[in-house]
Structure 1
Amino acid sequence: MPPENWEIWLDTQLSPIIAKWMAEYLGSVVKSSYSLQLNNLSDTAIYNMAKAHGNVILISKDADFDELVNRLGSPPKLIVIKKGNCDNREMWEFIKPNITKAIRILTTSNVDIVELD
């Protein structure tokens, strides 16, 4: 579970239902790109909004965020999902076993990017 002052934002490739399941599992604030109205914005615009917000962990399958965080720094911190297309339940079952550890690494260290593969 992330500290209270952190939010988790899921990128467009991840369904809003995964945000709901993750919020219930973690007991934390988890928002989908749709609830944030980010689904039609460029990756750079999403990165800039997350940076302006502060303590945000982006979760994405998009390699562009990896490049943005490496080039421009954090926040936001990033969890990169390295899994191909699948249904929502399978994706959540892939993420769930490692999400708590990934969040802990990002919120308690100087690590900016964690990959789940």
Structure 2
Amino acid sequence: MNTFTNDWEFWLDENISPIIAKWLMDEINIKCISFHFLKLNKTADLEIYNLARSKEKVIIISKDLDFRELVSWKGTPPKLIFLEFGNCSNQLLYEKLKTKIYDAIQQLIYGDLDIFEIKKD
């Protein structure tokens, strides 16, 4: 079990299926929660950003440019995994995340990166 497991959590934006949270949690052993389960799916992005900021050790996974802009302008926390590709199947999304998630963790949690981008290719 990794030392960051109990400290950090991933929040998945409302445009990402909650099943991805379960798959990720099983894969990386870090708490992953969908905005749906956090009851944030109808909440403004700035409010979500501020809530995540107050919790400090949150990484948001999103395709939403608003979160990218908020983290860029207002800083961290929270940190962000920004998905630079549109709609796709849950399986394809999970495969993309699975191949990059450990690099993202290394750079966001242990490094000084604020936004980790995952591109379509």
TM-score scaled by structure 2?
Answer: 0.92
Provide the secondary structure at the position in 1 that maps to 2:11: strand
1:38-68 deviation digits (Å, cap 9, x = unpaired): 1000110110110011100000000111110
1:16-41 deviation digits (Å, cap 9, x = unpaired): 00000000001110100011111000
1:75 aligned to which of 77, 84, 87: 77
Aligned equivalents of 1:2 and 1:101: distance in 2? 16
Runs of 4+ aligned structure 1 residues displaced above 3 Å come to none
Provide the secondary structure at the position in 1 that maps to 2:108: helix
Aligned equivalents of 2:116 and 2:82: distance in 1? 6
Report percent identity of matched pairs.
Answer: 44
What are the residue-to-residue correspondences of 1:1-117 with 2, within 5 Å? 3=4, 4-117=6-119
**May I ask how many residue pairs the two structures share in their alignment?**
117
RMSD: 1.2
Unpaired runs of 5+ residues, structure 2, are none
Unpaired runs of 5+ residues, structure 1, are none
Provide the secondary structure at the position in 1 that maps to 2:47: helix
Aligned equivalents of 1:104 and 1:34: distance in 2? 27
TM-score scaled by structure 1?
Answer: 0.95
Provide the secondary structure at the position in 1 that maps to 2:41: coil
Aligned equivalents of 2:73 and 2:85: distance in 1? 24
